[in-house]
Structure 1
Amino acid sequence: MSADLPDEPDVEAARIETARIEDEMEQSYIDYAMSVIAGRALPDVRDGLKPVHRRILYAMHEAGVSSGSAHRKSSSIVGETMGDYHPHGDSAIYDTLARMAQDFSMRYPLVDGQGNFGSVDGDPPAAMRYTEARMAPIAEELLEDIDADTVDFKANYDDRLEEPDVLPSAFPNLLVNGSSGIAVGMSTNIPPHNLGEVIDATVHLINNPDCTVEDLMDHVKGPDFPTGANIVGRAGIHSAYKTGRGRVRIRAEFETYEEEGRIVINELPFQENKSRLVERIADDVNEGKLEGIRDLRDESDRDGMRVVIELKRDAMVDVVKNQLLESHLERTFGVINLALVDGSPQVLTLRETIHHYLEHRRDVVRRRSEFELDEAEDRAHILKGRLTALNNVDDVIETIQDAEDRDGAKAALREQFDFSESQVDHIVAMQLGSLTSMEAQEIEDEYEEVQARIERLEEILTNESELLGVIEEELLDIMDEYDDDRRTSIIEDTGTVAHEDLIPEEDSVVVMSNEDYIKRMPLSTFSAQNRGGKGIIGTDLKEGDSVSSVFVANSHDYLLCFSNQGQIYTLRGFQIPEMSRTARGKSAVNLLDLDSGEELTAVVNMDDIASDEIDGTRYLTMVTRDGYIKRTSVDEFQNINSTGIRAVRLEDGDQLVDVEVTDGDRTLVVATADGMSIRFDEDDVRAMGRSARGVRGVDLQGKDTVAGVAGVDTERHSWVLTVTENGYGKRSDIEEYRVQSRNGKGLIDIKTNDRNGQVCAMETVGPGDHLVVMSQTGQIMRTPVEGISIVGRNTMGVIVMELESGDQVACLDVIPREMVTDASEADVDLSESPETELE
């Protein structure tokens, strides 16, 4: 019979689709890969968090586990996160929670942990039932305003709750705390950074939307790891910020004690396991790969890290140090700045990362303002109804009394006064006590405040600059609250320098001519003489050439070289060729990229900036020939290109004359070529950026020009030294120069008659200092400053250097007493100095 029945459709067969297995496998793998990429392994560029981090913080927020609450058992937090938002294993959630509490893993920990959360030795955290946690204060900034409709929400895994797609993130967390993860076919490795530097760069991008990566790198110096240590060289940083990929060398921070034969390690590279490092060093010593080590101890405690390496008596400290650097104390951090942008993975430059964050914050602030505007308008509507009711209180009360019930009263009020439904609800609910004049005044005051708030919110929503101003203000508030000092230092990569360690440290005199010839000579070449001497030949000048600058430096010093055109260059002392007194020197074109007519007018030693004798911020105080003065923080000069950078903006025809290192508390004395001087406090000149021109320091008369500036520490024993072009000079106590207001004409400092000529320099000198004076024809003389008489202002001075006819003093520099080590040079008989009449 079955053969006579009509064919019935095969339902199961109809649901089967034919597909090529390779196509199905390819698509399935792509779907899996994208799920891992977007749902687990990569952070979002907007808040810098992976889903598991975001869900833990949101679960703590919903549970009320804030920075002000009591600590909660970690197992409770893990359970709520797993049950409500993250349906994965509890160990993965707890590992993430523990890492967010580790101050050696996170630059700014997002979780405040209580208990054992692991150590830099690789010790694992205690079980979650033994530890407690709560949000750190800075984590709450990531969740700020999340309840003000600032971000989109989506259903959780079982459609029972909602979770945020992204957090509002009041600061650029991706850069600040970094991230690492391995997805399918790609990985990310973003280093942490200093919060203040990142916010400075973000604010700079707000105010300069067309800025480049190089501009932002003036603010973001490089990664700032929680474990400190040192970044070697800047090439890897530049590559990472410009391309999104780079290799950064991290070197441990250590100290060498040659006399004790000891090396002490204080900081390790990021993610370095201290216990394993000690074991590897010990293994290399036992296997004979490391020689010269007799003992190795880990003396670290709660106060900090300290690994002590004791050397054998005959071991060379430098050799052992280099072996340790080669095999143990350096590692490479491969930067891969990969993050999700609109759900897709992208490798981002520094500028792109900050730009995407700003776009997110712009959307957050706009949505928050719209939310608050709706609330404010609703409140204003209610207050307006209450004010109308108070202004017509007798009629309102009578209308309510004549109504049969509450609904009738509401209907009558709507009809008589044109109230809305929400207004009559509040009016009917008003108590008799609110009818007093004081209550009415409070409602009027609140209504005015709400109206002002509405106007402000509407201004933010309609004016893009106001909205960006709100973002900038909130970022700066966060920086004020959480910013701290940089932990990771950036040191120069000296590996490419020609055997710097083999170059002896030697104090030198550097001479440069107007034709850009430069050389250095040992300071010991020039013995100290009595003042009034002729000196000795210091350089062989080409016909028509003359000396432009002379300065004293150590062969290993880092020098900041300022030119008359307002540019600043960097130079190492040993890069300057060492030559004899009678040599001409080598062309400086291979050392400094000077333009035609550009010459050095001032040199600042980095040791002066880093001196322990100066506390707080250091400034470079610059004066120009036309009387302008400017102070700029030395932090503005961290990244100087080989072609130099702008130090001061000059007006047409003006030139940079002199530069002093100051600390904010100095008294400044500006000298002019015609012998005038003016003294004022350093804080009369506000600190400015590199591109600023400065402010008026002295009111120059006629064709007078500025000759120099002295920054005097009034708490130290020092004098102001003035030297004229004809070789005369004097020392004066600072009390001789009364304090005036900036931009005054000043007082007479020294007479500039035919005998003296014009002033060529002013310096601050102290006991034991020596002076190096050089003439335009190349004569150089060294003399103790205490051989130059101490006299008051408005005097002739005494002869400092005897010059040949037609010759003049070109420049001078001070040899600090620390460099005056030869007793025979320090103890010159000053009684034989030729006298000159003092007036």
Structure 2
Amino acid sequence: MAKTKKPKNSGGGATPHNPVIEEHIDNALSARYMAYALSTITQRALPDVRDGLKPVHRRILFAMRQLKLNPEGAYKKSARIVGDVMGQFHPHGDQSIYDALVKLSQEFATRYPLVEGQGNFGNIDGDSPAAMRYTEAKMTAAGMLLLEGLDENAVDFKATYNEEDDEPVVLPAGFPNLLANGAQGIAVGMATSIPPHNVAEICNAALHLIKTPNARVETLMNHILGPDLPTGGIMVEPKDNILEAYQTGRGSFRIRSRWAVEDTGRGTYQIVVTEIPYQVQKSRLIEKLAEVIESKKASGLADVRDESAEDVRIVLEPKSKNIDPAILMESLFKISELESRVSLNMNVLDANGVPRVMDLREVIQSWLDHRREVLLRRTNQRLGKIADRLEVLDGYLIAFLNLDEVIRIVRYEDKPKEELIAAFNLTERQADAILNMRLRALNKLQEIEIKTESESLRAEQIKLEALVSSDAQQWDTISGQIRELRDLYGPKTDAGRRRTTFDLAPDLDIDLSTAFITKEPITVILSEKGWIRALKGKVDDLDTLKFKEGDKLAFAVHAETTDKIILFASNGKFYTLGGDKLPGGRGNGEPIRLMVDLENDHIPVGLFVHDPERTLLVASSEGYGFRVKEADIVASTRGGKQVLNVKGDAEAVRVIEAKGDRIATIGENRKLLVFNLDEVSELTRGKGVRLQRYKDGGLSDMTTFSSEEGLAFIDSAGRRQEVPDWPQHEGSRAQAGRMAPRGFSRQGLFAPDKRL
């Protein structure tokens, strides 16, 4: 608890008029930070749910109203507006006020601008507006609707910061600004992000909610389809996700650029982007697309140009006329801001100034409740004025009915006011009104006008009193106001036409990484010394291939340019190569070590075309191995992906496809072992389990087969030989096995077609 301590007077130090306050630092920081946080939340970041405005925007519009900057009037310098706002209502920086004013006028930032600007107010490229001394502004019709009724006691007022003037706590809000124009803000510990929506759709939803007060969000979304953004675009978010966002008040929506294909003749085309996502700067977008071209992340895009004038026109040129435009755009959507996400976080201040997240129904209902309160306050204020006027008119009528006596009292009595009150039972105000009448107002025509006015006011009074006492009439009146607003911003008007449309992203079952590669057959050749090349077409006659002196063929694989080529090395790593990136068939190719980081003391032991549906079997020279899904071995870097762990003198020696139900292994000691393939574990990385036990040497080869088809090997003459007594070699995993049958390959190898 803070306490005040009278300091000691030490000559020039503290005095009784300057006391020292002692307070614990935790309490001091907590109290001050809480005050700062609340100020940020309520006075800067979060909009009021009723008028959808933050204080700075509300003060700008109120100041412009005082300056009579109506839509039909003339413009005034922005500096004048900013000066009035800062001097009277908003004691903050002039630049922050001007930035808020500018945003209210930007058609690419605000769906329904509240301010009409004249001069340079910035553009969609992200260029800054001109200085406030050069630009001019006035209000739009939407801005005037927000202020309508302000002189009719529609809302409460409060003192300004210097208590010299009054300002409205909230605007009457004849325009559904919160949903129509949205809001963005970051406070302390919370934020708000509401995208703009279509006014006609908001009006339809509000009318439905008036008619059906218990309507659900799902029903309201039959009217409000989703955000309607100033820059248009295509929303590709599924309906279920949109519904969930509006039910919870939180979510996000995917927005894509609108594009079309233009024929440029001779079978060529170009893509023209005419609308870009909300809050994306066009210049930055084009810079990023240029970077994408330079970095070759989008292999199908050749060039990008900005041909925009008043409208957006970004031209994208493909590298080839054979590239499908839809596939090219799909690739660009994934790597550029041609597609972006617009967030929804309807965190607002309710009617009591409490911040909370509302769903769609609560937001619309809050606006309707505010409109009803404004209607009642305006009606009661009008009733007060009518009663006040009728009091005067009743006095006039009494005077006309007793004109001669009134004249006598005024002419001959010393105190005519008291005499009039006593003679005709008048109020003090009626007596003053009669005494202040001019002589020329005593004619017959004036009497008729007073009677007519009195009858008209009494009829209006009866009508307004019925309105105040009837909820149904109140909602009927509000419904009529909303219908007028809907007609003003209907779908057939330029301002009301929906700009953002809805679609689903095309379901393209295509690998975008290979979509722009021309699909051609190739034959991949890898020599024993590690030189790799790709011959065009399917080459079957490999005897004609030429190699460097002392080198020969190690692997030959038939593939296509769109395939991923997988290399398995003796270090237990898998390396991934693109079929289109391999050197051509002229000459001896290039060393494989220029493409992957393969150490000099390790060699390739397998080369095959990637098939993500297969399961592989890998094994080391020690006789350890395991099964691994081929989808888990793809490497994304030159360094490869470590799968089989080997240590010391052990090396990876084999990789084969795991198919069938049996596995056969043979060691360098020529002992053969057959066991069930299910005994081998499936891993993603590791040393594996022991396949066969050896006293001397290690694993020579292994294969998998189906027990129905049987086991075979290739003899020294190249003939396929069956092993009819293979069941005699059956056992369990990790056993030593029995000697191979007579005639088995002297190299200790199974049929080579069993290898990848």
1:340 maps to what in 2? Answer: 349
Distance between the aligned counterparts of 1:378 and 1:435, measured in 2? 21
Query: Root-mean-square deviation (CA), in Å?
Result: 2.3
Residue type matched to 1:409 in 2? P
Distance between the aligned counterparts of 1:498 and 1:459, measured in 2? 65
2:732 maps to what in 1? Answer: none
- CA offsets per residue over residues 163-184 of structure 1, 9 Å max, x none? 1111110122111110001111
- CA offsets per residue over residues 644-688 of structure 1, 9 Å max, x none? xxxxxxxxxxxxxxxxxxxxxxxxxxxxxxxxxxxxxxxxxxxxx
- What stretches of structure 2 of length at least 5 have no aligned partner? 1-6, 491-495, 513-756
Is residue 161 of structure 1 aligned with residue 165 of structure 2? yes
Residue type matched to 2:300 in 1? G
- The Cα of 1:206 is off from its aligned counterpart by 1.2
Is residue 410 of structure 1 aligned with residue 417 of structure 2? yes
1:238 maps to what in 2? Answer: 243
Change (3 A) 1:325 1:14: closer
Residue type matched to 1:284 in 2? V
1:446 maps to what in 2? Answer: 453
Find the residue that maps to 1:147 and give its secondary structure: helix
Find the residue that maps to 1:113 and give its secondary structure: strand
Distance between the aligned counterparts of 2:228 and 2:105, measured in 1? 18
Distance between the aligned counterparts of 1:365 and 1:74, measured in 2? 33
- Report 1:304-383 matches (<5 A): 304-316=311-323, 317-328=325-336, 329-341=338-350, 342-383=352-393
2:295 maps to what in 1? Answer: 287
Residue type matched to 1:428 in 2? L
Change (3 A) 1:14 1:313: closer
- The Cα of 1:398 is off from its aligned counterpart by 2.1
TM (norm. structure 1) is: 0.56
Kept after mapping to 2: 8 A contact 1:292/1:314: no
Change (3 A) 1:428 1:238: same
Among residues 252, 266, 288, which one is paired with 2:257 in the alignment?
Answer: 252
Residue type matched to 2:297 in 1? K
Change (3 A) 1:201 1:499: farther
Distance between the aligned counterparts of 1:455 and 1:17, measured in 2? 63
Kept after mapping to 1: 8 A contact 2:232/2:276: yes
- The Cα of 1:434 is off from its aligned counterpart by 2.4
Among residues 266, 273, 278, which one is paired with 2:286 in the alignment?
Answer: 278
Among residues 144, 147, 151, which one is paired with 2:151 in the alignment?
Answer: 147
Change (3 A) 1:275 1:414: same
Change (3 A) 1:485 1:14: closer
Change (3 A) 1:312 1:8: closer
Kept after mapping to 2: 8 A contact 1:265/1:305: yes
Find the residue that maps to 1:264 and give its secondary structure: strand
2:471 maps to what in 1? Answer: 464
- The Cα of 1:476 is off from its aligned counterpart by 1.4
Is residue 392 of structure 1 aligned with residue 405 of structure 2? no
Distance between the aligned counterparts of 1:68 and 1:423, measured in 2? 40
- The Cα of 1:314 is off from its aligned counterpart by 4.2
Distance between the aligned counterparts of 1:365 and 1:66, measured in 2? 23
Distance between the aligned counterparts of 1:365 and 1:491, measured in 2? 40
Among residues 106, 109, 130, which one is paired with 2:134 in the alignment?
Answer: 130
Among residues 476, 486, 507, which one is paired with 1:479 in the alignment?
Answer: 486
- Report 1:423-572 matches (<5 A): 423-483=430-490, 484-495=496-507
Distance between the aligned counterparts of 1:291 and 1:143, measured in 2? 54
Residue type matched to 1:235 in 2? D
Distance between the aligned counterparts of 1:15 and 1:278, measured in 2? 62
Among residues 306, 328, 331, which one is paired with 1:298 in the alignment?
Answer: 306
Distance between the aligned counterparts of 2:119 and 2:339, measured in 1? 31
Kept after mapping to 1: 8 A contact 2:184/2:194: yes
Change (3 A) 1:53 1:8: closer
Is residue 177 of structure 1 aligned with residue 178 of structure 2? no
Find the residue that maps to 2:56 and give its secondary structure: helix
- The Cα of 1:19 is off from its aligned counterpart by 3.9
- CA offsets per residue over residues 719-738 of structure 1, 9 Å max, x none? xxxxxxxxxxxxxxxxxxxx
- CA offsets per residue over residues 57-116 of structure 1, 9 Å max, x none? 111111222222210000000000000000000000000000101000110000010000
Residue type matched to 2:329 in 1? K
Find the residue that maps to 1:261 and give its secondary structure: strand
Find the residue that maps to 2:161 and give its secondary structure: coil
Say which is worse superposed, 134-143 or 62-71, in terms of deviation: 62-71
Change (3 A) 1:500 1:68: farther
Residue type matched to 2:427 in 1? S
- The Cα of 1:315 is off from its aligned counterpart by 4.5
- Report 1:43-122 matches (<5 A): 43-122=47-126
- The Cα of 1:8 is off from its aligned counterpart by 11
Kept after mapping to 1: 8 A contact 2:192/2:348: yes
Distance between the aligned counterparts of 1:296 and 1:113, measured in 2? 32
Distance between the aligned counterparts of 1:318 and 1:209, measured in 2? 45
**Once the two structures are aligned, what percentage of the paired residues are identical?**
42
Distance between the aligned counterparts of 1:215 and 1:498, measured in 2? 35
- Report 1:653-664 matches (<5 A): none
- The Cα of 1:270 is off from its aligned counterpart by 0.5
Distance between the aligned counterparts of 1:148 and 1:319, measured in 2? 60
Distance between the aligned counterparts of 2:268 and 2:208, measured in 1? 49
Distance between the aligned counterparts of 1:96 and 1:419, measured in 2? 55
- The Cα of 1:292 is off from its aligned counterpart by 3.1
Residue type matched to 1:344 in 2? V
Residue type matched to 2:280 in 1? E
- The Cα of 1:423 is off from its aligned counterpart by 1.2
- CA offsets per residue over residues 446-500 of structure 1, 9 Å max, x none? 11110011111111111111112221111211222233111100112444x8789
- Report 1:596-635 matches (<5 A): none
2:45 maps to what in 1? Answer: 41
1:604 maps to what in 2? Answer: none
Kept after mapping to 2: 8 A contact 1:111/1:139: yes
Kept after mapping to 1: 8 A contact 2:142/2:175: no
Distance between the aligned counterparts of 1:116 and 1:427, measured in 2? 58
Distance between the aligned counterparts of 2:206 and 2:19, measured in 1? 56
- CA offsets per residue over residues 144-170 of structure 1, 9 Å max, x none? 111111111111111111111111101
Residue type matched to 1:413 in 2? L
- CA offsets per residue over residues 729-766 of structure 1, 9 Å max, x none? xxxxxxxxxxxxxxxxxxxxxxxxxxxxxxxxxxxxxx
Find the residue that maps to 1:154 and give its secondary structure: strand
- CA offsets per residue over residues 504-545 of structure 1, 9 Å max, x none? xxxxxxxxxxxxxxxxxxxxxxxxxxxxxxxxxxxxxxxxxx
Distance between the aligned counterparts of 1:423 and 1:479, measured in 2? 45
Kept after mapping to 2: 8 A contact 1:255/1:265: yes
Residue type matched to 2:489 in 1? Y
Among residues 182, 194, 198, which one is paired with 1:194 in the alignment?
Answer: 198
Kept after mapping to 2: 8 A contact 1:120/1:274: yes
- CA offsets per residue over residues 397-437 of structure 1, 9 Å max, x none? 22222234xxx222221111111121122212222332332
Residue type matched to 1:431 in 2? R
Say which is worse superposed, 432-441 or 363-372, in terms of deviation: 432-441
- The Cα of 1:299 is off from its aligned counterpart by 1.5
Residue type matched to 1:374 in 2? G
